[in-house]
Amino acid sequence: MNRKIPPDAFSFYFSLGTGRSYQAVAEHYEVSKRAVSNMAEREGWQARLAELERKARDRVDEKAVETLEDMNSRHLKVLRFIQNKAIEALKATPIESAMDAVRAYGMTLDKERTIRGEPSDRTQVDLAEITREEMRRLLRVVPSEASQGDQAAQAHSIHGTAESADDNDDDW
């Protein structure tokens, strides 16, 4: 096995994909694995491989972002087209029979908001309702002066019960 390893050996090594090995390169070029290992170390194959894989991942990520942006752009164009058609229909149709146009326009607004990362009307309503419920649950209503006497009596009654319960705790 006194053959010389060609300069394109790294390209062959890289093309092997997940099954790559120095042994496979050695068998392909009919040289020893040690010769391939020495060449790989001299030429920094592992560092080159890592760099190529990083660049490939970066390209895949860029394409994914571009694809998503293209999709969103197409969807926005279609939504704008439908919005324009809905507006034309609203202009040309008597108010009594314009509900289809109104529904179409409303649907496109929700979809456009979603694509642009904004909440839809339903999400806003749900969030507002949740906030109101939390505020009702967490905040107490301050009583008027007339009912303060009644509440003081109720509080005394409750505290009196709690005190007698506390007295029972000493027995434990």
In the predicted model, what is the mean pLDDT of the chain?
A: 77
Report the pLDDT value the prediction gives residue 154, as an integer from 0 to 100. 53
Q: Among all chains, which residue has been given the structure tokens 């649950």?
A: 137
* pLDDT at residue 147, rounded to an integer: 55
pLDDT in tens, 14-35: 999 888 999 999 999 999 999 9
The residue ranking higher by pLDDT, 20 or 155, is 20
Alpha-carbon gap, residue 105 to 82, rounded angstroms = 7
In this predicted model, what pLDDT tens digit does every residue of 42-89 receive, in sequence order?
A: 999 999 999 999 998 988 888 888 888 888 888 888 888 988 888 888
In this structure, the number of other CB atoms found within 10 A of the CB of residue 72 comes to 13
User: How many of the other CB atoms lie within 10 Å of CB of 119?
Assistant: 13
């991942």: which residue's tokens? 57
Whether the pTM exceeds 0.75: the reply is: no
Q: Between residues 126 and 23, which one has the greater pLDDT?
A: 23
The 10s digit of each residue's pLDDT in 105-120 is 788 888 888 887 776 6
Between the alpha carbon of residue 83 and those of residues 51, 92, 93, 107, the distances in Å are 47, 14, 15, 9
